[in-house]
């Protein structure tokens, strides 16, 4: 019944004509029945116009039913008088009450459906996202409806878009659905990125998601992400520019330090005093240590953290060559559980490593003595690191106090560890010499 009524053109004049004809037919049958005393089933003829009226005009359906039913009872009453309690009158009266009750139920349900339809239609029409409805027709998913936003994205008019295969605007929207098959009722399309093909052939990036409905339709939600894509491209372009800028900064700092190192080395060739030449060489090594850090960062793609493991290996190779010792004479064992350091810790830690390694190479193995140096960087607690440099050389004299020594190198170690790194320095007088530097750090371990 409902599907038949839904197919009728949705115009007020057509509806009124149909209702009028059904009423004329019903009253005509009743009048003919009254003339021939056939009255028991004739009130049922009013069911059709009243039910249709309840569906088409739910707000006026009760009034319509009361008017039609009352007219029916009045006619039966007039023709049955004075025997108003006969079977015909009783049947008409009972039918009247049934019609009123049925009208109330149908009109109530219809009003709820109309309200629900209005809500969904409002969401569909005014949604900021494009909404497309398609169904399987002629062995293909074809578009049956699209809201204003979808039409604007596609560049189509509604009449030209309706009936088009969905694959023309969203290729491969539903992989796995055969052309001749039907759409599964519980089919879901998870949100994914794809390209929407406009009427002019251009494509725009969109996010789509969708689901099948129980009546075999597919509802697609289409979100335009052109602005997001443009923002991502702009951000990526900005990141590339900043990366280039940082690389250039590290490159220039490294070059400037190399120039300074070259000047110091050139100046040292004009100095004949061995002690002064030693001071020049130590200063050169310190500058070289910092230049190595910037060179490592220049080669790396990470400008926030320093690969301390690779850096130490370069520093060890340089210092061994600088002090004229080979890896066969002095074995350097690097054991790092924390392999990457933040920049605010990496530079002072690199300088400390240079001073401690230089001291071991200069003082721990005199007269060509062979030995071993251990470099270790471990996590000490949840947010602290411990940097240890130890050797099995001749050791330090008894009563040696690292805080009381006035040499520039040890003062630099203490100052960097306690002031810049906010840590502590400890000296172990065991077999050889061991110096421990504990400092706060964010640990990135090499697992």
For the chain, the structural domain boundaries read: 2-125, 128-224, 226-303, 319-447
Provide the 8-state DSSP code for 139.
Answer: T
Quick one: pLDDT band at residue 443, thresholds 50, 70, 90?
low
pLDDT exceeds 90 at position 136:
no
> How far lies 230's CA from each of 155, 236, 442, in Å?
21, 10, 35
Q: pLDDT, tens digit, for every residue of 311-334? A: 888 888 888 888 888 888 899 999
Alpha helices in 325-424 (DSSP H): 343-359, 408-415
Q: What is the CA radius of gyration of the chain?
A: 46
Q: Are 385 and 439 in contact (CB under 8 A)?
A: yes
This prediction has a pTM of 0.51
Tell me, what's the pLDDT at 265? 80
Which span out of 6-10, 87-91, 289-293, 364-368 was modeled with the highest average pLDDT? 364-368
Q: pLDDT, tens digit, for every residue of 342-399? A: 878 888 888 898 889 988 888 888 888 899 999 999 887 678 889 999 998 888 777 7
Quick one: pLDDT band at residue 176, thresholds 50, 70, 90?
very low
Quick one: pLDDT band at residue 12, thresholds 50, 70, 90?
low
Q: pLDDT, tens digit, for every residue of 148-170? A: 888 888 888 888 888 888 888 88
Provide the 8-state DSSP code for 366.
Answer: G
Contacts of 136 (CB under 8 A, 6+ apart): 142, 181, 182, 183, 216
Ranking 46-60, 252-266, 297-311, 386-400 by mean pLDDT, the lowest is: 46-60
Tell me, what's the pLDDT at 54? 66
Calculate mean pLDDT across residues 267-279. Answer: 83
Ranges of beta strands (E only) in 268-397 are 305-307, 330-336, 338-342, 371-379, 384-391
Query: CATH code for 128-224?
Result: 3.30.450.20
pLDDT exceeds 70 at position 408:
yes
Tell me, what's the pLDDT at 374? 93
What does the mean pLDDT of the chain come to? 77
Calculate mean pLDDT across residues 1-28. Answer: 61
pLDDT exceeds 70 at position 282:
yes
| Per-residue buried b or exposed e for 322-360, using 16+ beta carbons within 10 Å of the residue's own CB | ebebeeeebebeeebebbbbeeebbbbbbbbbbbbbbbb
Query: CATH code for 319-447?
Result: 3.30.565.10
Same CATH fold assignment for domains 128-224 and 319-447 = no
């Amino acid at each position: 019944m409902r599907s038949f009524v839904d197919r009728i053109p949705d115009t007020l004049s057509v509806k009124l004509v149909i209702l009028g004809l059904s009423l004329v037919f019903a009253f005509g049958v009743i009048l003919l029945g009254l003339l021939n005393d056939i009255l028991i089933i004739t009130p049922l003829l009013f069911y059709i116009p009243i039910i249709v009226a309840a569906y088409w005009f739910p707000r006026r359906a009760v009034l319509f039913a009361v008017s039609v039913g009352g007219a029916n009872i009045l006619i039966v009453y007039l023709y049955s008088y004075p025997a108003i309690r006969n079977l015909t009158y009783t049947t008409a009266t009972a039918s009247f009450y049934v019609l009123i009750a049925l009208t109330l139920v149908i009109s109530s349900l219809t009003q709820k459906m109309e309200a629900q339809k209005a809500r969904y239609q409002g969401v569909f029409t005014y949604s900021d996202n494009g909404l497309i409805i398609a169904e399987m027709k002629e062995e293909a998913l074809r578009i049956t409806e699209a809201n204003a936003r979808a039409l604007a994205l596609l560049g189509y008019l509604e009449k030209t878009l309706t009936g088009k295969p969905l694959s023309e605007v969203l290729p491969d929207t539903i992989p796995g659905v055969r052309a001749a098959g039907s759409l599964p009722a519980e089919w879901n399309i998870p949100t994914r990125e794809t390209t929407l093909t406009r009427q002019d052939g251009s494509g725009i990036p969109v996010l789509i998601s969708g689901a099948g409905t129980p009546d075999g339709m597919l509802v697609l939600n289409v979100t335009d992400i052109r602005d997001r894509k443009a923002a991502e491209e702009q951000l990526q372009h900005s990141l590339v520019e900043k990366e280039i800028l940082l690389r250039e900064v590290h490159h220039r700092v490294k070059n400037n330090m190399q120039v300074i190192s070259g000047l110091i080395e050139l100046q040292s060739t004009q100095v004949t005093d061995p002690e002064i030449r030693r001071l020049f060489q130590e200063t050169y090594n310190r500058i070289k240590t910092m230049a190595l850090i910037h060179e490592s960062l220049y080669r790396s793609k990470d400008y926030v953290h320093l690969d301390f493991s690779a850096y130490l290996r370069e520093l060890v190779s340089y210092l061994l060559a600088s002090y004229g010792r080979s890896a066969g004479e002095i074995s350097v064992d690097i054991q790092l559980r924390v392999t990457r350091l933040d920049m605010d810790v990496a530079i002072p830690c690199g300088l400390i490593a240079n001073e401690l390694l230089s001291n071991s190479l200069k003082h721990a193995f005199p007269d060509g003595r062979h030995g071993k140096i251990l470099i270790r960087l471990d996590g000490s607690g949840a947010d602290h690191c411990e940097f240890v440099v130890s050797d099995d050389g001749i050791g330090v004299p008894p009563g040696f106090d690292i805080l009381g020594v006035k040499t520039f190198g040890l003062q630099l170690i203490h100052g960097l560890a306690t002031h810049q790194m906010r840590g502590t320095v400890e000296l172990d007088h065991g077999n050889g010499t061991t110096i421990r530097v504990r400092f706060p750090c964010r640990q990135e371990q090499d697992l």
